């Protein structure tokens, strides 16, 4: 499996000539999911789901498919019948040659006054876990954790404890578009020293 980090929370996985994109949102590159055989979307927030970008992928390739939760699927299903699949916690499926398991149900708490929406995470090939906007600990071993490092709903102590709870071999930063260059070394040091896993930060377009 080849992993390419895109901006913010989007990652692209490649295997056996097929491509799987996760969370191509408005903070990601305009073409972050271009050419993908399948797209996984964790939830409806615009930094994870840009409807126009996903539609362009589906329009360009009649074989491309999407797996996501009901709130997102409802905006796409009518235009692309049979190609947009609704999933939830506990589901398992194959997408673009990858085996995917779904873990989690709710977005992290932003503030008690803000209603929580649905959020799912994806464990790909029993190896890489992308949690979306939640600190879901899957009930399965994780080799590579895509780690949401900076968001309105988290703080660094929670990020560090999340790495410890999942106990991956390595943690790769995502959800980092709002993290300034000034703050990055602080996060690198704290997560690297306290997270008990290899901590990796990839630039957009870099592979890991």
* Confidence class for position 80, pLDDT limits 50, 70, 90: very high
How many helices and strands in the chain, by DSSP H and E?
4, 13
CA distance 93 to 67: 9
The average pLDDT across 131-143 equals 98
User: What's the Cα-to-Cα distance from 106 to each of 49, 103, 136, 181, rounded to whole Å?
Assistant: 16, 10, 9, 30
Residue ranges and CATH numbers for the domains of the chain are: 2-200 (3.60.15.10)
Per-residue confidence (pLDDT) for residue 56, from 0 to 100: 98
The per-residue pLDDT of the chain, averaged, comes to 98
Residue 190: what pLDDT?
A: 97
Residues 158-187 have pLDDT tens digits of: 999 999 999 999 999 999 999 999 999 999
17 falls in which pLDDT band (50, 70, 90)?
A: very high
The per-residue pLDDT for range 18-66, each reduced to its tens digit, is: 999 999 999 999 999 999 999 999 999 999 999 999 999 999 999 999 9
Q: pTM for this structure?
A: 0.98
Q: Phi first, then psi: give them for residue 141, nearest 5 degrees.
A: -65, 145
Q: What is the pLDDT of residue 175?
A: 98
């Amino acid at each position: 499996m080849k992993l390419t980090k895109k901006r913010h929370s989007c990652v692209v996985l490649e295997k056996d000539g097929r491509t799987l994109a996760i969370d191509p949102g408005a903070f990601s590159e305009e073409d972050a999911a271009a050419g993908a055989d399948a797209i996984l979307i964790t939830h409806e927030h615009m930094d994870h789901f840009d409807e126009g970008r996903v539609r362009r992928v589906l329009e360009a390739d009649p074989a491309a498919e999407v797996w996501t939760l009901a709130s997102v699927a409802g905006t796409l299903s009518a235009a692309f019948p049979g190609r947009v699949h609704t999933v939830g916690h506990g589901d398992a499926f194959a997408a673009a040659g990858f085996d995917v398991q779904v873990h989690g149900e709710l977005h992290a708490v932003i503030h008690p006054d803000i209603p929580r929406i649905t959020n799912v995470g994806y464990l790909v090939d029993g190896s890489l876990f992308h949690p979306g906007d939640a600190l879901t600990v899957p009930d399965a071993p994780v080799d590579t954790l895509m780690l949401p490092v900076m968001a309105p709903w988290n703080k660094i102590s929670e990020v560090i404890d999340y790495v410890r709870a999942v106990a991956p071999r390595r943690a790769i930063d995502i959800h980092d578009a709002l993290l300034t260059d000034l703050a990055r070394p602080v996060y690198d040091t704290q997560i690297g020293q306290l997270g008990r896993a290899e901590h990796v930060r990839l630039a957009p377009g870099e592979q890991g």
